[in-house]
Amino acid sequence: MSKNYKLQNILFCDNDRLEAYWEMFFKSSRPVYDREKKTIVLGAGQVIDFCTYFNSISLLKWKTYTYASKLILKLRVKGEMEIILTGYEKKDTQYIRKVLHRAKVSAAEPQEISLEYPENNLMLAGFEIHTHGICVVYGGEYDTEIDEEQVRHVSLHLCTTTFKKEDYILPNIQLLKDTVLAGNDSLAKNLWIHVVDNGRTLPVEELETEHVMVHPNLNVGGAGGFTRGMLEAMDHKEKPTHVLLMDDDVMILPESLIRTYNLLKIVRPEYEHHFISGAMLFYEEMNYLYEDVGFMDHEGTYGPIKDRVDTRKMEDILRCEEMFHQPKNAYAGWWYCCIPAEFVRKDNLPLPVFVRGDDVEYSLRNKAKFITLSGICIWHMGFTNKFNGAMEFYQVHRNTLMLQAASGVCQNVDIMTRIRKLIRVNLLRFNYDGAELLLDAVEDYMKGYKFFMKNQGEKLLKEKSQKNEKMEPLSKFPEAPTKVLSVYAQDLPRKSLETFLYRITYNGHFWPTKWLKKSVVPVAYDWYYSPHRYFFRRKLLAVNPYLKQGAYREMDKKRFFELFSRERKLFNRYARIHERLEKEYRDHRKEFTSESFWRKYLEIDK
C-alpha cells in the first residue's frame, strides 16, 4: 500500500545571517518575510522563482538513489496567482528551462494546493509563482508516494566534537533542540546527538536530554573526538543505522538533517552503502560552495572535485546535479558526513592523527562511494582567510605519510617528492620556519608507529604553532600594497639567465649579499608562488590580504645552510629505512583502529 512521503521542505530564508544571500532561496524578485506569522508575502504582479539551491529539488538524484519515482508539490497559499512547475536540464555548457505544468489558483482563504509533476527525466525541478494580487505563502514541501515496505528504519546518531568553541556549539545544540528534536515526527524520535567535549568546559547537566548526550573527553583532536563519538553511538541503547559526523564551528540549517534522514529512509539497496557527503560553504561568503566531495591528486594536493560553485547561479547549481565519475582518492570531509553503521565498527575506527587527514583516510580505507544533494550542507568558519603553517606544512604532510603507509591508500601519490619541492620553495622565499615544519613532519613520521600511539597531539601542535609567521597589521609596513590582492597577480615571466641564477644559487643563498637587491616587495603569505618577485631580494614582505596583515621575511644564510644540511641527512636516512618503516606502519594499522587501542588512548576506562 502506497503512502504520501515528504522529501524536503520549502525554505523561507528566515535566518538573519542568510538574508543578504536571499538568492539562494528565491530568484527573479524577493518576497517579504513576515517573521511573526512565518509566511512570505508577495505583491501584485510579482514573479518569484523557487528553482534555487535550497528550494529546487534534485529530481534525478532522488529518482536514482531512492524509491521516489513520483514528484508532488504541496503548498499552502492565499491569493490570486499562477503556479508554474518547471524543470531544468543541462546540455553542454547551456542550461534549458522547461515548463512542465501551469495551474491557476484563486484562494480567498488559506488553501492547500497539491500539484503533480508530469513524468520527466530532468536533473532539477522547481516552481514559480506569478501573482495577480497580494499573495501569501504559508509553507510547502516536495512529496512522493512510497509503498510502506520500501520505508526503512533509520536510527541517526549525530556526533560532533568541540574544544572550547561554546560560541558555535551551544547555539547549534539549541537550534536542533528547538527544531528537529521538538517535533513529533519520526526524525525527532530517531535522532541522537553525541557532543564530545574535548575541552571539558560544557555545562553537561544544562545540555543533556534524552536525545542529547555530552561526553567529556581528553583533547585528542578531531580524530579522537569523532572516534569517541563513534564508540558512544555504538554503545547506545538505540543502535545506529547511520553515524553523522559534523564539525562544531559551523552554521547549520535543520533542513540538512531532514533531507538526510528522509533520503536514508527510502534509499535503494544498491546505494545503502554510500556515504552522504554534505557540502561545505564559506561562512564569510555564504553563497560560495567550496567542496562536497574532495580528492587527492597524483602530486599529493587535497582539493574539491568541482570548481567553486556560486549557489545563486543556475549553471553552477546544475553542475552540482551532475552524477560525476568518482576519481581515484576521493573522500568526504567530516564537516558533514553520514556513514552507514556497517563501516562504523569497533575494529574499523579512525587513525590517531589528532587533526587533518582522518576523514581522508577513513573514506579511502573503506573504499567509500558518495551521495551529494543540494541543500545538505554547512557553512564553515575561517576557510577563506587563514593559512596555518603548523597545520598545512607539519600536520597535513606528517599525517599523509602515515595514512599512506598504514592503510596502503594513495599509492599513486609521491608525497615525499611533494614535500621536497615545498621545502625548496620555502627556502627560496625565505620562509625558513615553513621549511623547518616540513622537515619536522618527515622526521616525526620516521620515528615510526610508536610515535602515533602516544597522546601528544595537543602538545605538538602548540609547539609547532610557535613556528607560524607572526603577522602584524599592514599599516606597520611602508612597503604594504594599496591593493592587497595584487600579491596574487600573475607573476612576470623570467628571463632564462634569471631562471638559471635563481635555481643554481638557491635565490641568492649561494651569492654575495652585496649583489642582492635591497628593495622590499610584497608577496603572498600562503601557497602562491611568484619566483620573479623573489628573485635576488634580501627581504620580502609576506602579506595576508584577507586579514590585512604582514610579516617580513629576510634572507638568513646561516639558517638556510642549517636546514639545507638537515634536509640532505634526513632524506638520505629515509631512503635507507623507508621500506621497513612502511611495513611497520602497515603491520600495526589494525591495532591503531581497534577499540582496545582507542579506549586506552582516550583513557575511557580509568
DSSP 412-449: T--HHHHHHHHHHHHHHTT-HHHHHHHHHHHHHHTT-H
Domain residue ranges of the chain, discontinuous segments joined by +: 2-147, 156-380, 389-558
Got the DSSP string for 261-295?
Answer: HHHHHTB-GGGTTPEEE-EEEESSSTTEEEESSEE
Structure confidence at residue 106 as a pLDDT band (50, 70, 90): very high
Q: Pick one of 2.40.50, 2.60.120, 3.40.50, 2.60.40 as the CATH number of 2-147.
A: 2.60.120
What's the average model confidence in pLDDT over 181-204? 98
CA nearest to 334, candidates 383, 283, 294, 390? 294
> Cell 602497515 belongs to which residue?
586
Look at the alpha carbons of 44, 35, 178, 222 in this order and tell me if their dihedral is positive or negative: positive
Q: Residue 384: its pLDDT value, please? A: 62
Q: 3-state class of 332 per DSSP?
A: coil
What's the average model confidence in pLDDT over 96-123? 97
Q: Residue 93: its pLDDT value, please? A: 81
Distance of CA 275 to the CA centre of its chain: 14
Our CA dihedral for 253, 275, 8, 245, rounded to 10 degrees, sits at: -20
Measured at the CA of 312, the angle between CA 490 and CA 262, to 5 degrees, comes to 125
Our CA dihedral for 249, 337, 214, 259, rounded to 10 degrees, sits at: 100
Q: 3-state class of 109 per DSSP?
A: strand
Q: 3-state class of 66 per DSSP?
A: strand
What's the average model confidence in pLDDT over 140-158? 98
Q: Contact at 8 Å (CB) between 502 and 531?
A: yes
Structure confidence at residue 91 as a pLDDT band (50, 70, 90): confident
pLDDT at 290 over 80: yes
Q: Contact at 8 Å (CB) between 173 and 159?
A: no
User: In angstroms, rounded to a whole number, what is the distance separating the alpha carbons of residues 8 and 292?
Assistant: 19
Structure confidence at residue 606 as a pLDDT band (50, 70, 90): low
User: In angstroms, rounded to a whole number, what is the distance separating the alpha carbons of residues 19 and 41?
Assistant: 15
Helix axes 432-445, 396-407, angle to 10 degrees: 20
Q: Does domain 156-380 have CATH number 3.90.550.60?
A: yes
b/e map of 142-172 (b: 16 or more CB within 10 Å)? bbbebeeebeeebbbbbbbbbbebeebbbeb
What's the average model confidence in pLDDT over 233-252? 98
Alpha helix positions (H), 519-588 = 531-534, 557-587
Q: Residue 381: its pLDDT value, please? A: 81
What's the average model confidence in pLDDT over 41-67? 98
Distance of CA 146 to the CA centre of its chain: 32
What's the average model confidence in pLDDT over 309-327? 92
Distance of CA 51 to the CA centre of its chain: 24
The full length of the chain comes to 606
What's the average model confidence in pLDDT over 67-82? 98
Helix axes 415-428, 396-407, angle to 10 degrees: 170
User: In angstroms, rounded to a whole number, what is the distance separating the alpha carbons of residues 124 and 297?
Assistant: 30
What's the average model confidence in pLDDT over 459-475? 97
pLDDT, tens only, 343-400: 999 999 999 999 999 999 999 999 999 999 999 999 998 766 678 999 999 999 999 9
Chain mean pLDDT for the chain: 97
What's the average model confidence in pLDDT over 97-122? 98
Structure confidence at residue 325 as a pLDDT band (50, 70, 90): confident
pLDDT > 90: percent of the chain:
96
For residue 51, CA distances in Å to 125, 160, 302, 374 come to: 7, 32, 32, 11
Helix axes 396-407, 557-587, angle to 10 degrees: 30
CB-hemisphere CA count at 13 Å for 17? 11
Surface-to-core class of residue 103, CB atoms within 10 Å of its CB (0-12 exposed, 13-18 middle, 19+ buried): middle
What's the average model confidence in pLDDT over 583-605? 97
What's the average model confidence in pLDDT over 498-526? 98
pLDDT at 313 over 70: yes
